[in-house]
Amino acid sequence: MNANYKTLLEPYPLSNDVELKNRIIMAPMTNFSSNPDGSVTEAEVNYYARRSKGVGAVITACAYVTPSGKGFPGEFGSDRDELIPSLRQLASGIKNQGAKAILQIFHGGRMCAPDLVPNGEIVSASNIPAENGATAGVEPRALTETEINEIIEAFGESTRRAIEAGFDGVEIHGANGYLIQQFFSPHSNRRDDQFGGNVQERMTFPLAVVDKVQQVVNEHAKEPFVVGYRFSPEEPETTGITMGDTLQLVDVLTEKGLDYLHVSLGEFWSKARRKADTTKTRVELLLEKIHNRVPLIGVGSIYSADQAREAFQTGVAFLALGRELIIDPDWVQKIEAGKEDEINTLVDVNKQAELEVPDPLWKAITTTPGWFPGVE
């Protein structure tokens, strides 16, 4: 191995009890490839297994915690015990290749397509339509306090199922405009009860989910079990989340005993837009606020070994690769073998079988110009 890349592949503790074999993680990416009942397909298991040989951990695509939270066609679920065998199949497929398996759990809220949820009714913190995405302009129904508490319990139950299925951890999906973020956002949360108000009060739901997940882990996990939290730093809406809001949230999350925080970025080097030092990257600002209190996973358009090495120089503990591990599942192994010059950074549209990508995901990749490098 080239000594320049030694840092990437060093073992690193995710907590006092869990160590990853290296600092590269497979990022969570929707793959649209599950069965209609929310169970995992063989093609999905093979897809994850193919990418689990080199990385330290795999964070799966998001699994919905209630039927009302299903965000995508072909998404797998964690909302009922009947799916535990399916989840166990997924966890085993990842772990058998040497990576830690982390289940991402989520509720889509107002971003769910009406035809995927019961009675076609989408829900959110308030009845404010999204401005972007497939459900832009569709008015959601504001959740009642009883329903909110039921969803908090559902996150806990999904965590229990992940434990029983053999996962090594869960990631709470508080990013990308989904329900947890909708409660934190001043754009989507206009509530005047305990779940709404100023920036601290809008943290109530996200923090309640964290508390419930951690409670379930303490009650049910017989071995060390990882709990992480993913967040998006800013929203494009004028009244949306600012970088300043997120720095306040992160400051609180670092004191919650989480095993890691995971920032969701399309571009690792992107700079803050509002309510923070706009001359600094979001990663820089986050690392300053966290101040080594909890590991931070960085992500965002990293493809080559040199790009990864440069990203690690910021001080992030881990780097998550999404599209690049689809393009080249052997990314880590090539660096280990000193063959980083052979890493593919453009998707080869003729190599679906070799890359073991399920048909629905492959169709999305090859028909969405600009999403993956190499697809025009």
Q: Mean pLDDT of successive 10-residue segments in the chain (376 residues)? A: 91 89 97 97 98 98 98 97 98 98 98 96 97 92 98 98 98 98 98 97 98 98 97 94 98 97 98 96 98 97 97 97 98 97 95 97 94 90
Residue 373 lies in a domain: no
Residue 374 lies in a domain: no
Counting Cα atoms < 13 Å in the Cβ hemisphere of 72 gives 20
Residue 283 lies in a domain: yes
303 carries an active-site annotation: no
Q: Which two tokens stand for residue 313?
A: 């120089």
Residue 327 lies in a domain: yes
Number of domains the chain contains? 1
Residue 89 lies in a domain: yes
| Candidate list 178, 229, 260, 303, residue with the active-site label | 178
Residue 375 lies in a domain: no
Backbone angles phi, psi at 39, to 5 degrees: -85, 155
Residue 179 lies in a domain: yes
User: What's the confidence (pLDDT) of residue 17?
Assistant: 87
Residue 54 CB partners (closer than 8 Å, separation 6+): 22, 24, 329, 330, 331, 332, 333, 336
Residue 371 lies in a domain: no
Backbone angles phi, psi at 217, to 5 degrees: -60, -45
User: What burial class does residue 241 get, using C-beta atoms within 10 Å of its C-beta: 0-12 exposed, 13-18 middle, 19+ buried?
Assistant: buried
**Domain that includes residue 222, residue range:** 3-366
Whichever domain contains 257, its CATH number is 3.20.20.70
User: What's the confidence (pLDDT) of residue 15?
Assistant: 80
